């Protein structure tokens, strides 16, 4: 949101600006694993001040691999603050 706001203040033409110019640069991507608890994911969001975490797993052997020595991850989906808030609300309704 902050990146879009920054651009709109400069009245730039959104159709011609590459995403790489306005993206938020981070030293590392914070992720969640599919078996990780919702509490753990929420804690990461708070600690790193992010609204969405990609949910990833290591790629299975034989699938496309990296040319570097870095781990190759497959994005399975994402979990957002909104998703966690909805879950919290649903659990609250069950208690009441």
pLDDT of the residue at 86? 96
Q: How far apart are CA 21 and CA 35, in angstroms?
A: 34
Question: Is it the case that residue 68 has pLDDT exceeding 90?
Answer: no
Decide if pLDDT at 6 tops 70.
no
pLDDT of residue 90: 94
- Per-residue pLDDT of 8-67, as tens digits, reads 656 667 777 788 877 777 678 899 999 999 999 999 999 999 999 999 999 876 656 555
Confidence of residue 79 (pLDDT cuts 50, 70, 90): very high
Count CB atoms within 10 A of the CB of residue 50.
Answer: 15
Does the structural domain 26-95 have CATH classification 3.10.580.10? yes
pLDDT of residue 19: 81
pLDDT at 2 over 90: no
59 and 72 Cβ atoms separated by less than 8 Å = yes
Domain ranges of the chain: 26-95
């Amino acid at each position: 949101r902050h990146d879009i706001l920054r651009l709109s203040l400069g009245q730039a033409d959104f159709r011609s600006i590459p995403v790489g110019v306005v993206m938020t640069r981070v030293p590392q991507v914070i992720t969640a694993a599919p078996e990780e608890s919702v509490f753990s994911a929420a804690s990461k969001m708070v600690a790193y001040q992010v609204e969405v975490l990609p949910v990833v797993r290591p790629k299975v052997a034989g699938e496309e691999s990296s040319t570097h020595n870095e781990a190759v991850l497959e994005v399975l989906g994402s979990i957002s603050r909104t998703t966690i808030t909805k879950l919290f609300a649903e659990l609250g309704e069950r208690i009441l």
